[in-house]
Amino acid sequence: MIAVEIKHLTKNFEIEGHTVVALKDVSLAIEKGDIFGVIGMSGAGKSTLVRSINFLEKPTGGNVYVDGTDLGTLSERELRRMRSRIGMIFQNFNLLEQRNVLDNICFPLEINGIKRREARKRALELLDLVKLSDKARAYPSQLSGGQKQRVAIARALATDPQILLCDEATSALDPQTTASILGLIREINEKLGITVVIITHQMSVVTNICKRVAIIDNGKLVEEGKVEEIFSAPKSDAARELLAGKKISFQPLKKLEEGRRIRIVFRENSAYEPILSNVILKLRIPVNILKADTRNVGGKAVGEMILGLPEDGRQQEDMIRELKEAGVSVTEVNEIE
């Protein structure tokens, strides 16, 4: 079943007399119970897209359906009721500094008219879920970034939403804390069956937790599919750019930057074989390893390398052909920074 369906979504902003097109004819469907990623570079339009799902941003054109209901047909009162079924967490946590942790979680329940005793009981249950029962009386200023995000998650779950939107929810956190928050989101998805939509610019987040992913570039949906398929064989320039990684900690020599580069991904059935070594020995063609990494993709360890090939075009094609025949995914890489 489909939890969220977006059809031909367009969003324009008027800024100082000029029209800025943030989203252009975006269509996608998110299944119930899925962990769905939306990824793109800064300014690609992904945050506008997620805010359109709960109509915090009302589209200029197109439709958004939640559980089959067209949000554009709802009155303001009906829309507020629908939003109670859509939780949202943000990069900067958005906690109320003057309220303690327990009262922060109770806040959306109070707005919905829930009695204080019942709200506090629900908040304590959620604190146990996010493993912060001992912080009920603490204030946001006394918490770490990871703890603040756990409180924000508990608050987002207070109204028993069916959908949880995460807008860059881990970008302000260190890698270890990010991993713990993603683990919590996965646990919530499995325990409660909540559909999760994660907006991020970090490919590591998508490969760690998401089942399907949509790639947004300059306001357009340029690629969508299962994470492992896009990771192994990206079709769009935006996907290849995100996978190649813009934050590599070293600079390749200029000589290597001028050659042809390919990205190879070792699938599960080839991960334990010395495929690259065998191909090099067979063809007697040298390659430069510009980058090597192992990532968690859908709970499986997947290896990838970026190789610099020799200048000879025939040798390049021979190397690519042999790698593909050995069961390795091969795609072109435009640049490494």
Residue length, the chain?
337
Residue 252 has pLDDT above 80, yes or no: no
**In angstroms, what is the C-alpha Rg of the chain?**
23
The residue among 239 and 293 whose pLDDT is bigger is: 239
Provide CB contacts within 8 A for 195, sequence distance 6+.
3, 4, 30, 31, 32, 33, 34, 36, 162, 163, 164, 189
In the chain the beta strands, taken as DSSP E runs, fall at 2-15, 18-31, 35-39, 61-66, 69-70, 86-90, 163-167, 195-200, 212-217, 220-226, 261-266, 288-297, 300-308, 328-333
Confidence of residue 247 (pLDDT cuts 50, 70, 90): very low
Q: For all residues of the chain together, what is the average pLDDT?
A: 86
pLDDT score, position 258 = 45
pLDDT score, position 4 = 95
pLDDT score, position 204 = 83
Sheet of 18-31: strand order equals 18-31, 2-15, 61-66, 69-70
The residue among 253 and 58 whose pLDDT is bigger is: 58
Tens of pLDDT, residue by residue over 224-237, are 999 988 888 888 88
How far is Cα 337 from Cα 258, in angstroms, rounded to an integer? 13
Confidence of residue 88 (pLDDT cuts 50, 70, 90): very high
**So where are the chain's domains?**
2-236, 245-333
The two tokens of residue 39 are 């990824």
In 168-272 the beta strands, taken as DSSP E runs, fall at 195-200, 212-217, 220-226, 261-266
Q: Do domains 2-236 and 245-333 have the same CATH topology?
A: no
Tens of pLDDT, residue by residue over 258-283, are 468 888 887 655 555 677 777 887 78
pLDDT score, position 248 = 33
Tell me, rounded to whole angstroms, the distance of Cα 130 from its chain centroid: 21
pTM value is 0.75
pLDDT score, position 8 = 96
Residue 37 has pLDDT above 90, yes or no: yes
The residue among 128 and 287 whose pLDDT is bigger is: 128
Among 63-77, 177-191, 278-292, which stretch is predicted with the lowest mean pLDDT?
Answer: 278-292
| CATH code for the domain defined by 2-236 | 3.40.50.300
The residue among 128 and 264 whose pLDDT is bigger is: 128
Task: Tell me the three state secondary structure of residue 304.
Answer: strand
Confidence of residue 249 (pLDDT cuts 50, 70, 90): very low
| CATH code for the domain defined by 245-333 | 3.30.70.260
